[in-house]
Structure 1
Amino acid sequence: MNLLKKAGRPNQMPVRFERKGSLRRLAAKGFLLIVLIAALSGCSIGSELLNDHSVEPLQKEATLRVIFLDVGQGASQLLIAPSGQTLLIDAGNNDKEQTMLDYLRKYGITRLDKVIGTHPDADHIGGLDKVIDGTAIGDIYLPKASSNTKTFESLLKSIQRKGLKVKTAKAGVQFDMGEGVRVKMVAPVKSYSDSNNMSAVVKVTYGSHSFLLTGDAESQSEKDMMASGADLRADVLLVGHHGSKSSTTLAFLKAVEPRYGIIQVGKDNNYGHPTPTVLQRLKKQGVEVYRNDTQGTIEVDSDGRNLSIRTER
Structure 2
Amino acid sequence: MHKFKKANFIVLTIVILTMLLSGCELESSENFQDNIGDLVVHYIDIGQGDSIFIQLPNGETSLIDGGPKANSNVVVNYLKEMKIEKVDYLIATHPHEDHIGGLPEVVKNFEIGKIYMPDKVANTAIFESLLKEIKAKDLKISVPSSGEYLIDTDDLKYQVLAPNGEKYENTNDYSIVSKITFKDNSFLFTGDAEKTSEKEMIGKGYDLTADVLKVGHHGSSTSTTEEFLLKVDPDYGVISLAKDNKYGHPHKEIIELLNKKGIDILRTDELGNIIIKSDGKDIEILNGYSKENSIKETVYEEENYIGNKNTKIYHSPDCGSLPKEENQIIFKSKEEAEKEGFKPHEKCIK
Query: What TM-score, normalized by structure 1, do the two folds share?
Result: 0.81
Q: 1: CA distance between counterparts of 2:69 and 2:133?
A: 14
Q: 2: CA distance between counterparts of 1:206 and 1:171?
A: 20
1:68 aligned to 2:50? no
| Partner-residue secondary structure (3-state), 2:286 | strand
Q: 1: CA distance between counterparts of 2:149 and 2:85?
A: 23
Structure 1 unaligned blocks of 5 or more: 1-29, 51-59
Give the counterpart letter for 1:297 in structure 2.
Answer: N
Matches within 5 A, 1:290-305: 290-305=266-281
1:168 aligned to 2:143? yes
Shift of 1:112: 0.6
Give the counterpart letter for 1:96 in structure 2.
Answer: N
Q: Deviations over 1:230-262 (max 9, x none)?
A: 100000000000000000000000010001000
In structure 1, what is the equivalent of residue 211 of structure 2? 235
Asked if 2 retains the 8 angstrom alpha-carbon contact of 1:184 and 1:204, the reply is: yes
Q: 2: CA distance between counterparts of 1:170 and 1:61?
A: 29
Structure 1 runs (4+) deviating above 3 angstroms are 30-33
In structure 2, what is the equivalent of residue 120 of structure 1? 95
Structure 2 unaligned blocks of 5 or more: 1-12, 290-350
Shift of 1:61: 8.3
Q: 2: CA distance between counterparts of 1:202 and 1:210?
A: 11
Shift of 1:179: 8.3
Asked if 2 retains the 8 angstrom alpha-carbon contact of 1:296 and 1:312, the reply is: no
Name the structure, 1 or 2, with higher relative contact order (CA <8 Å, separation 6+): 1
Query: Of the candidates 136, 150, 153, which is equivalent to residue 111 of structure 2?
Result: 136
Give the counterpart letter for 1:171 in structure 2.
Answer: S
In structure 1, what is the equivalent of residue 27 of structure 2? 45
Matches within 5 A, 1:20-99: 44-46=26-28, 62-99=37-74
Q: 1: CA distance between counterparts of 2:81 and 2:157?
A: 25
Asked if 2 retains the 8 angstrom alpha-carbon contact of 1:76 and 1:89, the reply is: yes
Shift of 1:267: 1.0
Distance of aligned partners of 1:265 and 1:133 in 2 relative to their CA distance in 1, 3 Å threshold: same
* Aligned residue-pair number: 270
Q: Deviations over 1:81-124 (max 9, x none)?
A: 12210000000001111111101111221101110000000000
RMSD: 2.6
Give the counterpart letter for 2:26 in structure 1.
Answer: S
Q: Once the two structures are aligned, what percentage of the paired residues are identical?
A: 41
In structure 1, what is the equivalent of residue 162 of structure 2? 187
| Partner-residue secondary structure (3-state), 2:59 | coil
Asked if 2 retains the 8 angstrom alpha-carbon contact of 1:186 and 1:202, the reply is: yes
Higher Cα Rg, which structure:
2
In structure 2, what is the equivalent of residue 273 of structure 1? 249
1:146 aligned to 2:128? no
Q: 2: CA distance between counterparts of 1:254 and 1:205?
A: 18
Q: Deviations over 1:183-228 (max 9, x none)?
A: 0010001121311000000100001001000000000000000001
| Partner-residue secondary structure (3-state), 1:216 | coil
Q: Deviations over 1:36-63 (max 9, x none)?
A: 9xx9xxx82249x99xxxxxxxxx9831
